[in-house]
């Protein structure tokens, strides 16, 4: 794309999170720790599901894909945010900014569909257990996988179509630590009110719509569970509560940022930090410590690894 006639801006400057040295040190330590823990935790989930034959089921196939996406969530903005914390001039190139926007939105779109697919998996497992393997067949799992990436790509391309040819000829300071699309649009040298509304509506209503679909599906599941014995209900609700926690962690910040009528810069920034650093870490913790089969499989894999090291 030729931008010579459209834009005199070749880079953007991030305001960052804070100018306080003490808070910067605290953020550096916390975000670095959670980033490394998130990468290790989600990588361990993927390896465990891949190499443990007992976990070769639809639920864990979807979980491994969610963990892969969480690796992406952690890696799109966190490394640069951590790197920029102590830099006076926090800059990113125009192409780097567009790349961030691309990956943020494709990953967000894919994760929404995967969470809906996981809710459907739980619905079938709890409400139609005798037909579970028939409905959640390998073909259905592949369908969910392809659908997630297709919808994520479409959502991403729609967002990029709004901004890719905008002229940027003056202000280049972004009041954020990453290329936040609504703030990015405000820097264009043209009236972007309608574009800002469409971008916010696109992400906001997709987030809210997906969240409502998930909540309705959970209501149906809970109603079905209440009709069964207390033991079965307890086990099913325990499984369901794990998914609900992950859904709230993902959709909560998204809905607040895009649907709240009065945006608050500092609050938006720290919600974005939560979404980028803490949420992927908490997802791995929730799915590990609240899942007995996963804990057993991880211990089994660690034991096999130790045995292999001793033999070799």
**Coarse DSSP helix, strand, coil percentages of the chain, rounded to the nearest 5 percent:** 80, 5, 20
**Cα–Cα distance measured from residue 259 to residue 44, given in angstroms and rounded to the nearest whole number:** 35
- Please give the model's pTM, rounded to 2 decimal places: 0.87
Q: pLDDT-based confidence at 43, cuts 50/70/90?
A: very high
Whole-angstrom Cα distance, residue 42 to residue 295? 13
Residue 3 has what pLDDT? 44
Distance CA 119, CA 306 (A): 36
Q: What pLDDT, on a 0 to 100 scale, did the predictor assign at position 237?
A: 64
CATH of 12-162+171-311, one of 3.30.70.270, 3.30.390.30, 1.20.1070.10, 3.30.70.3270: 1.20.1070.10
Residue 222 confidence (pLDDT): 80
User: What does residue 92 show for φ and ψ, rounded to 5 degrees?
Assistant: -145, 140
Q: Does residue 113 have a pLDDT over 80?
A: yes
How many other C-beta atoms lie within 10 A of the C-beta of residue 105?
Answer: 22
pLDDT of residue 263: 55
- Over residues 96-112, mean pLDDT: 92
Residue with tokens 């800059």: 91
Per the structure block, which two tokens stand in for 246?
């992950």
The listed range with the strongest mean pLDDT (42-46, 267-271, 302-306) is: 42-46
Sign for the CA dihedral angle at 36, 42, 46, 51 comes to: positive
Question: At 12, phi and psi to the nearest 5?
Answer: -120, 150
Average pLDDT, rounded, for the chain:
84
| Per-residue confidence (pLDDT) for residue 312, from 0 to 100 | 67
pLDDT range class, residue 147, cuts 50, 70, 90: very high
234 falls in which pLDDT band (50, 70, 90)? low
- Contact (Cβ atoms closer than 8 angstroms) between residue 75 and residue 56: no
pLDDT for the residue 194: 83
CA atoms within 13 A on the CB side of 132: 13
For residue 78, give the nearest of 12, 31, 24, 16 by alpha carbon.
31
At 6, the pLDDT band (50, 70, 90 cuts) reads very low
Where would I find the beta strands (DSSP E) of the chain? 11-14, 90-93, 173-174
Between 110 and 192, residue with greater pLDDT: 110
Give the pairing of strands 173-174 and 11-14. Answer: parallel
Question: Tens of pLDDT along 257-299?
Answer: 666 655 556 777 888 888 888 889 988 888 887 788 888 888 8
């Amino acid at each position: 794309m030729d931008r010579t006639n459209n834009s005199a801006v070749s880079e953007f400057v991030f305001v960052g999170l804070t100018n306080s040295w003490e808070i910067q040190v605290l953020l550096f330590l916390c975000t670095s720790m959670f980033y490394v823990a998130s990468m290790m935790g989600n990588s361990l989930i993927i390896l465990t599901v891949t190499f443990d034959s007992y976990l070769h089921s639809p639920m864990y196939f979807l979980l491994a894909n969610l963990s892969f996406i969480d690796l992406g969530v952690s890696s799109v903005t966190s490394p640069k945010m951590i790197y920029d914390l102590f830099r006076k001039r926090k800059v990113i190139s125009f192409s780097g900014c567009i790349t961030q926007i691309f990956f943020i939105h494709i990953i967000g779109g894919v994760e929404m569909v995967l969470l809906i697919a996981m809710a459907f998996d739980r619905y079938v497992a709890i409400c139609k257990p005798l037909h579970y393997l028939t409905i959640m067949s390998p073909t259905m799992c592949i369908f969910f996988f392809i659908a997630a990436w297709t919808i994520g790509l479409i959502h991403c391309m729609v967002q990029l179509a709004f901004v890719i040819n905008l002229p940027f000829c003056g202000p280049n300071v972004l009041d954020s630590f990453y290329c936040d699309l609504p703030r990015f649009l405000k820097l264009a040298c043209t009236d972007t009110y309608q574009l800002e509304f469409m971008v916010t509506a696109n992400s906001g209503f997709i987030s809210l719509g997906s969240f409502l679909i998930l909540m309705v599906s959970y209501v149906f599941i809970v109603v079905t569970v209440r009709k069964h014995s207390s033991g079965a209900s307890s086990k099913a609700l325990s499984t369901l509560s794990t998914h609900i926690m992950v859904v709230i962690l993902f959709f909560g910040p998204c809905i607040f940022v895009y649907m709240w009528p009065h945006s608050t810069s500092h609050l938006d920034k720290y919600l974005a930090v939560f979404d980028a650093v803490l949420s992927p870490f908490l997802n791995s913790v929730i799915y590990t410590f609240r899942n007995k089969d996963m804990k057993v499989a991880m211990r089994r894999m660690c034991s096999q690894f130790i045995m292999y090291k001793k033999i070799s």
